[in-house]
Amino acid sequence: MKLLILICAIIDKKDARGQDLGDLRRKLQERSPLIVPDTFQPRHTSLSPQSLKSAESAYGHQGSSEPYRPQIFANSTHPLWMCLAPKTGCTAWNAFLLYVNQNISLLHTPAAIYTRKPVGEEFIFNSYNPLLAAELKNRDRVWIVRNPFVRFLSSYLDWQARNSARNSSAVTFDRFVSMYETEQRGSFRGWVYIPSHVHPVSDVCRIDVFGPDVFLRIEQMDLWYDTFMNHYGLDLFEARHQAEHGSGFYRPALSSTTPLAAKLAQALGSAPWSGEATPTGHERNSAAKLFSFYTPPLAKRVFDLQRRDFESFGYPAWDGNPATFAFI
């Protein structure tokens, strides 16, 4: 697996005032190369024969994939596979890939994105399809990941919303963590519970079978978005959608002239690099609620439960102190 370091620096506050991000990139380039169009070259790793055999069977049959998710094929000018685990922006990304693959647009109708049910034709564009074995072997595998502390809280809030009729608001975050710890003993019996929304991304996407060539942290989307879209030719589809429907997919809130002083919190990891995303109708702004739910003991328990994602994707541990939390 190749870990792409998007930005990693200790910034001296005396240099922050007035310094632009383009200058920062140049200073960091030799020490920690950033993703730029001419260097975004994933080191593609071929799947083993056993992994290829598992491609069709690892998830069971279509429609019963929990707690796993298939790799989704993007039939762009430079095709790739993406694993879009729940709570990593998957709803919007799936809608965009639906447009790429089938020219069906839901991006300008957020309610439709959230409520649309899958149709049979979508089956041909995921790793259930044995006819795509050659593509699965030869194309890059790219995963979108998310800070496990934020994703786990988002999973809890999503679970509450799905179970509002059963007074789920009475289930505290502490109790939810306990329920997840005893999941195998039936603690969620009687509740609407979707395991892939809570299990670590590395498990949901089957890192042991389909290890990614590249993973991209959603908190850093401003940093990698333009280059990623250009590298795989997805920017052509976004431009076409803009021309046809008058709406885009994502707009980074960052340019080469952005003052560092305006983005110091993001550069230091205390805030995500977030631009203007396609609305999907179910955002709950989990990142802004972390400190209302986490305590030091809960942070330790969630770290242990999601440890595989911390280790696989390089997210920092946290002691539960609001002053020490970092997104990256």
More confident residue, 240 or 64: 240
Q: Is the pLDDT of residue 304 over 90?
A: yes
Burial class (CB in 10 A: 0-12, 13-18, 19+), 52: middle
Domain containing 65 equals 13-146+202-277
C-alpha span between 21 and 230 (Å, rounded): 20
**How many distinct structural domains can be found in the chain?**
2
Structure tokens at 151: 């994703």
Q: Are residues 30 and 152 in the same domain?
A: no
Supply the pLDDT for residue 106: 81
Q: What is the mean pLDDT of residues 119-128?
A: 67
Q: What is the pLDDT of residues 82-116, one digit of tens each?
A: 999 999 999 889 989 999 998 888 876 655 555 55
Angle in degrees, CA 325, 249, 95, rounded to 5? 95
Closest listed residue to residue 51, CA positions, set 232, 214, 212, 216? 212
Provide the pLDDT for residue 18. Answer: 42
Mean pLDDT computed over 146-154: 97
Angle in degrees, CA 209, 61, 281, rounded to 5: 85
Statement: residue 256 has pLDDT above 80: no
User: Looking at the structure, do residues 186 and 77 belong to the same domain, yes or no?
Assistant: no
- Asked if residue 208 and residue 192 are part of one domain, the reply reads no
Query: Are 127 and 250 contained in the same domain?
Result: yes
| pLDDT over 50 at 58, yes or no | yes
CA within 13 Å, CB half, 254: 24
Question: Is residue 216 included in any domain, yes or no?
Answer: yes
Report the distance separating Cα 196 and Cα 64, nearest Å.
12
Nearest to 220 by CA among 151, 147, 303: 147
- Domain-located, residue 180: yes
Assess whether pLDDT exceeds 90 at residue 257: no
**81 and 177 co-located in one domain:** no
Q: Which residue has the higher pLDDT, 187 or 253?
A: 187
Name the domain boundary from 259, 277, 295: 277
Say whether pLDDT at 138 is over 70.
yes
Residue 177 has pLDDT above 60, yes or no: yes
Radius of gyration of the chain (CA): 20
Model confidence over 190-208: pLDDT tens digits? 999 999 999 999 999 999 9
- pLDDT confidence of residue 52: 75
Query: Average of pLDDT values for 259-272?
Result: 88
Q: Is the confidence at residue 277, as pLDDT, over 90?
A: no
- Residue 246: inside a domain: yes
Asked whether residue 85 is assigned to any structural domain, the reply reads yes
Residue 54 CA from chain centroid, whole number: 23
Rounded Cα distance, 30 and 32, in Å:
6
Answer whether 209's CB lies under 8 Å from 54's CB. yes
pLDDT tier at 137, thresholds 50, 70, 90: confident
| Top-confidence residue, 155 or 38 | 155
Residue 192 lies in a domain: yes
Cβ within 8 Å of residue 328, ≥6 positions away: 6, 7, 147, 217, 219, 220, 269, 315, 316
174 in the same domain as 142: no
Q: Would you say residue 306 lies in a domain?
A: yes
Higher pLDDT, 222 or 31: 222
Q: Which residue has the higher pLDDT, 2 or 189?
A: 189
For range 266-282, the mean pLDDT: 82
- Supply the DSSP symbol for 323: G
pLDDT, tens digit, 9 for 90 and up, residues 211-245: 999 999 999 999 899 999 999 999 999 999 999 98
**pLDDT value, residue 107:** 75
Do 263 and 123 share a structural domain?
yes
Based on the fold, state whether residues 219 and 319 are members of the same structural domain: no
Q: How far is CA 225 from CA 108, 264, 302, in A?
A: 20, 19, 29
DSSP designation for 205: T
Same domain, 306 and 236: no
pLDDT of 286 higher than 80: yes
Position 155 in a domain: yes
* 209 part of a folded domain: yes
3-class secondary structure, 216: strand
116 and 158 co-located in one domain:
no
Q: Quick one: 107 and 185 in the same domain?
A: no
Q: Are residues 173 and 24 in the same domain?
A: no
Is a pLDDT exceeding 50 seen at residue 189? yes
What residues are paired with 144 via a beta bridge? 216
For residue 36, what pLDDT is reported?
47
